[in-house]
Amino acid sequence: MRAAVINLRALPEQRDLIDQAACVLGKSRSDFMLEAACERAQSVLLDRVHFSLDAEKFQQFTDLLDAPPKPKEGLRRLLAIDPVWSKT
C-alpha cells in the first residue's frame, strides 16, 4: 500500500495534457505521473558518468573490472550460432 504523499501544482493545461495521456493508457493521473517520474528518475541515475567511491569500494570496483569474465553457458551457446547475415 502506498504511504507517501507527493503534492504538485500544475497549470490547468499541464493537468489536462497529463489526464489525456493517462486516459489513452487506461491509467489514473496518479499512476501515470508516478510511472513517468520513476522512469525519468531511473534514466537520470543510470546516465551518471561520474560517481564517488571510498578507497575500499573503488578497489572492489576495479577488481571486478579487471577480473576475467566468468564463463556463461548461455553466452557460449549464443556466440556459437552463425549470424543470419552470414548465411547465403
Whole-model pTM?
A: 0.56
Which pLDDT tens digits describe the chain residue by residue (88 residues)?
Answer: 888 999 999 999 999 999 999 999 999 999 999 999 999 999 999 888 887 899 999 999 999 999 988 889 998 899 899 888 887 6
- The answer to whether 15 and 28 are in contact (CB under 8 A) is no
Asked if residue 36 lies in contact with residue 44, where contact means CB atoms within 8 angstroms, the answer is no
| Contact residues for 53 (Cβ-Cβ < 8 A; gap 6+) | 61
